[in-house]
Structure 1
Amino acid sequence: MYIPKYYKVTNWEEIKEFIHTNSFGVLITTKKEKPIATHLPLQIHNEGEDYYVTGHMAYGNPQWRTFETAEDVLVIFQGPHSYISSSWYEHENVPTWNYQAVHVYGKAVILTEDELKQDLTLLLQKYEKHRKNPVLWENLSPQLLEKELKGIVGFKIKIQEIQAVDKLSQNRNEADYQNIIHKLYEEKTTNSHQVAKAMERKLQKDN
């Protein structure tokens, strides 16, 4: 991913939090030199000093069969994004787009059944534990779990390279930066408001 120096993110804690928050990613591999992709809920874990992205897909999805021959897979995590009008600047310029994203590269391997069960347990805890009637692994019947496990394949990707970008108008002057935030809040899209909040957080962190 091309990342100008203004926008490159290197803080590992920030990157981990971004992945955790924007964990519905796109897994990309190749089959006979043709790129293929699957949209999946994913998690990030560490085993000692090594970090892994984990997930699962349908057994009928042929993509998991590419893991054995693929040297690397790519996972893309996309954050909020929004159009930035150059009418919001003090001086004449062209429009652009603000966004946040992380690319993860690594080798994918298939999870054992026990590893898959553990990963699914953690996945349910993440998305269900705060609910009034949480659907947790231990609450589901063994018959249902046995049936569902036969229909999926779990995997983990050992992270070997990370590219992270926060393109949030860091190259603009202070007046432009503040006006962009103001104008984004005037927009009627959730993405625009999320980008404005991300710009505010970056401003607070840098100051």
Structure 2
Amino acid sequence: MYIPEIYLNENQAEIEQFIHENGFGILINQTKGKLWATHIPLLLENKNDKQILVGHISKLNPQADSFKTNDDVLAIFSGAHSYISSSWYDHENVPTWNYLAVHVYGKVKLHSYEQSVEALKSLVDNYELKSKNPVKVENLSEKTMREAHGIVSFEIEITRIESVKKLSQNRDNKNYKNIISELEKTNENQSIEVSKAMKKNRP
């Protein structure tokens, strides 16, 4: 993606944390000669000292069949975003949009059924952490687990990661602080999250 140098984020720890916190991504590839996108949760894991993304889609999804002949994929993870009014500056300028996003490029490798079950265990365990009565895949009935035969599970061998953190870095401290203040006044969740990110980026 196009990222002006001032907005480029190369902090690996930040990028990993961002993916963990915004794991519901968009998986894109070429399917039957057209761009195809599926919205799915993806887990960032380590395997053989390399990072991979793990996920699954329905066997009925045409994208699943396309993995056999076209393994190049792009996973997009989006974070907080908000409109920035130019009325918040002490000078005339154009309005803009602040946002955080990560693009992960890689190659799909399909799982066996046994690997699919293990991947499901990891996914469910991850998202059940905050549950009062967490569900465990290994405790599900044989009848329920038949559903696992209806998915295509995979891992993505990561070849490139691009991360953008557009947080008004081109503004001086006075305008930067005023943008944060105005974002907080909106009482909108996305805007407040952007203000928090701005505070963290320039304490």
TM-score normalised over the length of structure 1: 0.94
Identity score, percent: 49
Instruction: State whether residues 113 and 149 of structure 2, in contact with CA within 8 Å, keep that contact through their aligned partners in structure 1.
Output: no
Instruction: State whether residues 120 and 137 of structure 2, in contact with CA within 8 Å, keep that contact through their aligned partners in structure 1.
Output: yes
Q: Secondary structure at the match of 1:75?
A: strand
Measured against aligned partners, the alpha-carbon deviations of 1:86-135 in whole angstroms (never above 9, x if no partner) come to 11111110000000000011111211112211111111111113211111
Give the aligned CA root-mean-square deviation in angstroms: 1.1
Instruction: State whether residues 129 and 136 of structure 1, in contact with CA within 8 Å, keep that contact through their aligned partners in structure 2.
Output: no
Runs of 4+ in 1 over 6 A off after TM superposition: none
Aligned to 1:90: 90
C-alpha deviation, 1:161, in angstroms: 0.5
Residue 148 to residue 71, structure 1, CA distance change in 2 (3 Å): closer
Residue 97 to residue 203, structure 1, CA distance change in 2 (3 Å): same
Aligned to 1:195: 194
User: Structure 1: where are the runs of 5+ without partners?
Assistant: none
Aligned to 1:181: 180
Match status 1:28 vs 2:46: no
Measured against aligned partners, the alpha-carbon deviations of 1:151-186 in whole angstroms (never above 9, x if no partner) come to 111011100011100000011000111111111011
User: Structure 2: where are the runs of 5+ without partners?
Assistant: none
Aligned to 1:160: 159
Aligned to 2:134: 134
Code of the residue aligned with 2:55 in structure 1: it is G
Q: Secondary structure at the match of 1:150?
A: helix
Measured against aligned partners, the alpha-carbon deviations of 1:3-57 in whole angstroms (never above 9, x if no partner) come to 0011101111111110000000000011243101000011011112211111011
Aligned length: 203
Instruction: State whether residues 53 and 156 of structure 1, in contact with CA within 8 Å, keep that contact through their aligned partners in structure 2.
Output: yes
Aligned to 1:70: 70
Instruction: State whether residues 6 and 171 of structure 1, in contact with CA within 8 Å, keep that contact through their aligned partners in structure 2.
Output: yes
| Separation in structure 1 between the aligned mates of residue 99 and residue 33 of structure 2, nearest angstrom | 29
Aligned to 1:2: 2
| Separation in structure 2 between the aligned mates of residue 168 and residue 111 of structure 1, nearest angstrom | 39
Q: Secondary structure at the match of 2:202?
A: helix
C-alpha deviation, 1:71, in angstroms: 4.9
Aligned to 2:81: 81
Aligned to 2:106: 106
